[in-house]
């Protein structure tokens, strides 16, 4: 929920830096902002806890630790001292069991994945190899950040459980619906009037949605999402993108959480081959 809040807040902040009057977005952005403000008032007690900010910082810390651990192992794989190069290659094989970019998994999946990786690094002979090439320092940073994230995530879930779920869902649904309408308006205006004027907004929304998918998506396939319009080579009839499907939950459709607009949304989505990445929201 806080991730969903943060992503929507980021989008509004960015939009308000644009010339909305010239872009013909003033009215739809106002309606979207009003719906968001209603949602904001409802979850304000939980938001004031600061959990969202802490989660983002901890997730970023463990992501950086994962990336730098990978880089460290790869660099030492070509080290001039044979014993260190051999140790690095063996450690890299363990790391790669979890994919080339394990830090790009959804938050809950990433938490479990890191725990499994750390368990693989527990045997005494593996610890010795980590220490031999100095990679044990990154493993310590990774463990600390992942443990802290897991605890903080549990606190967030507890805070969310204290709110009226029906009221929260109603307000969040309203925000999500207006967000879909807003993206459709942007897509249509970009198709009719040329993408150049809207490119920065489209890129910003895509970036936030990618972070959202990462931040709070369970281990399920992504829902179908609306596509950004391609820049037409020749004038064409405007084509509306598909409306995004609501993320699934037991019994009733559930609104996305986040951020992951922020980690904000399994692997982090990448732009498609046609240069038009999907706009997606994270599931809880």
Q: Is the model's pLDDT at 235 over the cut of 70?
A: no
Q: What is the pLDDT of residues 109-149, one digit of tens each?
A: 999 999 999 999 999 999 999 999 999 999 999 999 999 99
Q: What is the pLDDT of residues 243-262, one digit of tens each?
A: 545 544 445 444 444 444 43
Q: What is the pLDDT of residues 12-24, one digit of tens each?
A: 999 999 999 999 9
Q: What is the pLDDT of residue 207?
A: 87
State which H helix or E strand residue 265 sits in.
none
- Least Cα distance to 254 among 130, 160, 154, 128 occurs for 160
Q: Is the model's pLDDT at 56 over the cut of 60?
A: yes
Q: What is the pLDDT of residue 273?
A: 40
Q: What is the pLDDT of residues 79-99, one digit of tens each?
A: 999 999 999 999 999 999 998
Tell me the average pLDDT of the chain.
Answer: 78
- Between residues 101 and 36, the one the model is more confident about: 36
Buried b (16+ CB within 10 A) or exposed e, 135-154: bbebbebbbebbbbbbebbe
Asked whether residue 195 is domain-assigned, the answer is no
Q: What is the pLDDT of residue 214?
A: 59
Average pLDDT over residues 152-179: 84
Q: What is the pLDDT of residue 91?
A: 97
Domain housing 80? 53-160
- Angle (CA) 276-282-283 rounded to 5° is 140
Asked whether residue 80 is domain-assigned, the answer is yes
Asked whether residue 123 is domain-assigned, the answer is yes
**Alpha carbons 258 and 173: distance in angstroms, whole number:** 14
Asked whether residue 156 is domain-assigned, the answer is yes
Asked whether residue 130 is domain-assigned, the answer is yes
Q: What is the pLDDT of residue 231?
A: 43
Tokens at 223, concatenated: 């829902």
- Least Cα distance to 142 among 119, 120, 114 occurs for 114
Asked whether residue 83 is domain-assigned, the answer is yes
Asked whether residue 132 is domain-assigned, the answer is yes
Structure confidence at residue 215 as a pLDDT band (50, 70, 90): low
**Alpha carbons 257 and 264: distance in angstroms, whole number:** 8
Asked whether residue 126 is domain-assigned, the answer is yes
Q: Is the model's pLDDT at 212 over the cut of 60?
A: yes
Q: Residue 187, SS3?
A: helix
Q: What are phi and psi of 21, to 5 degrees?
A: -65, -50
Buried b (16+ CB within 10 A) or exposed e, 49-79: eebbebbbebbebbbebbeebbebbeebbee
Number of domains into which the chain is organized: 1
Average pLDDT over residues 215-223: 43
**Alpha carbons 30 and 179: distance in angstroms, whole number:** 11
Q: 186, 202 in Cβ contact below 8 A?
A: yes
């Amino acid at each position: 929920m806080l991730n969903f809040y943060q992503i929507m807040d980021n989008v509004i902040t960015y939009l308000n830096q644009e010339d909305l009057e010239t872009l013909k977005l003033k009215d739809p952005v106002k309606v979207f902002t009003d719906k968001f403000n209603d949602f904001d008032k409802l979850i304000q007690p939980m938001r004031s806890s600061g959990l969202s900010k802490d989660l983002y910082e901890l997730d970023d810390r463990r992501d950086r630790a994962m990336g730098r651990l990978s880089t460290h192992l790869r660099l030492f794989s070509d080290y001039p001292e044979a014993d260190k190069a051999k140790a690095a290659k063996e450690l890299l094989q363990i790391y790669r069991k979890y994919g080339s970019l394990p830090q790009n998994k959804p938050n809950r999946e990433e938490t479990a994945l890191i725990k499994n990786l750390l368990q693989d690094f527990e045997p005494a002979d593996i610890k010795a190899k980590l220490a031999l090439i100095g990679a044990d320092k990154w493993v310590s940073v990774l463990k600390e950040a992942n443990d802290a994230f897991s605890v903080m995530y549990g606190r967030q879930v507890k805070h969310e459980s204290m709110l009226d779920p029906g009221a929260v869902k109603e307000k969040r649904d309203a925000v999500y619906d207006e967000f879909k309408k807003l993206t459709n308006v942007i897509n249509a205006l970009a198709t009719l009037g040329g993408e150049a004027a809207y490119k920065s907004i489209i890129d910003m929304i895509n970036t936030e949605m990618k972070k959202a998918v990462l931040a709070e998506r369970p281990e399920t396939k992504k829902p179908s999402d609306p596509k950004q319009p391609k820049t037409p080579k020749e004038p064409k009839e405007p084509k509306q993108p598909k409306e995004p499907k609501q993320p699934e939950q037991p019994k009733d459709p559930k609104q996305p959480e986040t951020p992951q607009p922020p980690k904000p949304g399994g692997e982090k989505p990448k732009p498609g081959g046609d240069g038009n990445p999907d706009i997606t929201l994270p599931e809880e």
